[in-house]
Amino acid sequence: MFGFIRQRAIASLISLLGLVVLVFFLSRLTGDPAALFLPIDATDEMRRQFREIHGLNDPLAVQFWHYLGDLARLDFGDSLRRARPAIEIVLEAFAWTFQLAVITMAIVTAAAIAVGALAAFRVGGLFDRIASVTSLVGASAPDFWIAILGIVLFSVTLGWLPTSGTGTPLHWILPIGVLFIRPFGLIVQVVRGSMITALSSAYVKTARAKGVRSGPIIFVHALRNAMLPVITVIGDQAAALLNGAVVVETIFGFPGIGKLMIDSILQRDFNVMLAAIMVTALAIFLMNLLIDLAYALLDPRIRH
């Protein structure tokens, strides 16, 4: 087991290092921060001093070497715009995104597993047809369109929900609802397909022959053996929420890490941008490691 964890951790660290190299050099192609932060009438000397203070006059290779040294000490530098440590700004934003992702995935996972399992129990029935159509529509609908439709319907027309912010529980309903739809549709489809296979297996037929009730057959005998592909999709969708809530956070003005990334790119705040990407990547790698561990626990053959 420890060898399995070590291999996954090493692979994740190599990927993380590659991401650092890629993002660092690509971020320098977005333009000169001095042109954004200094007044239009700033002199060449003022621009030179700004670049000198922030180490932007050095060659890119030297800047990258200094950045790696700081990164080894967990020093992400200061924000060019806010004059605060970049990691503090990123962790504040990540806390909002993490809460949003955890709440959404908890609701999605419980609802999708229940719906998918019940749909698979009577294939072709009314509930199965409704669940299949609903999940396909949800998995296909774009987030930005659902978000705009939700604002128009529930905020503008009906006036039930606020359009942006995080002040009350009502502010969370639209972002959670929009982020709920796509993963719910995908997970329902996978649970349904996996459960159909599990319910047709010999051990389920034996349980039915012994008179076991439908509830234990679905949620005890079949569901555990159907969970491997489901865990894969749940992990992928959870990572997508951490990494891909940019559109939803921007539309609803949600102060998460996705919106922070967009703002830092537009403002050329390199340190905040790199810190945001690093924290998000690290969270995704840790999540993938947990998924691998769940695989190993559910199926000991995977450990080898």
Task: Express each pLDDT in 63-101 by its tens digit.
Answer: 788 778 877 787 777 887 777 888 889 999 888 888 888
Burial of 41 (0-12, 13-18, 19+ CB in 10 A): exposed
Task: Express each pLDDT in 10-67 by its tens digit.
Answer: 777 787 788 778 877 777 766 666 666 666 666 777 777 777 776 677 777 777 887 7
| DSSP state for residue 260 in the 8-state scheme | H
Higher pLDDT, 113 or 220: 113
Task: Express each pLDDT in 122-153 by its tens digit.
Answer: 888 888 899 888 888 888 888 888 888 889 99
Say what the pLDDT of residue 35 is.
65
Say what the pLDDT of residue 246 is.
76
pTM as predicted: 0.76
In the chain, alpha helices (H)? 2-27, 33-37, 44-53, 60-72, 86-121, 126-140, 143-150, 169-199, 202-209, 214-216, 223-225, 227-244, 246-251, 257-266, 270-298
**CA 147 to CA 154: how far, in whole Å?**
10
227 CB contacts (<8 Å, ≥6 apart)? 194, 298
Tokens of 126: 């009314």
Mean pLDDT, residues 162-187 taken together:
87
- Report all structural domains of the chain as residue ranges with CATH numbers, in order of start: 86-303 (1.10.3720.10)
Identify the residue whose tokens are 């810190």.
Answer: 275
pLDDT band (50, 70, 90) for residue 296: low
42 CB contacts (<8 Å, ≥6 apart)? 34
Q: Is the separation of the CB atoms in 251 and 151 below 8 Å? A: yes
**Percent of all residues in the chain with a pLDDT value above 90, rounded to a whole number:** 4
Tokens of 258: 């996705």
**Considering the chain, what is the average pLDDT of its residues?**
80
89 CB contacts (<8 Å, ≥6 apart)? 79, 82, 260, 272, 275
Say what the pLDDT of residue 278 is.
83
* For residue 303, pLDDT beyond 70: no
In 122-168, alpha helices (H)? 126-140, 143-150
**CA 147 to CA 180: how far, in whole Å?**
11
Tokens of 11: 């692979």
Positive or negative: CA dihedral 237, 24, 265, 282:
positive
**CA 1 to CA 271: how far, in whole Å?**
37
Residue (of 65, 74, 84) closest to 25 by Cα position: 65
Name the β-bridge partners of 85.
Answer: 78
Burial of 183 (0-12, 13-18, 19+ CB in 10 A): buried
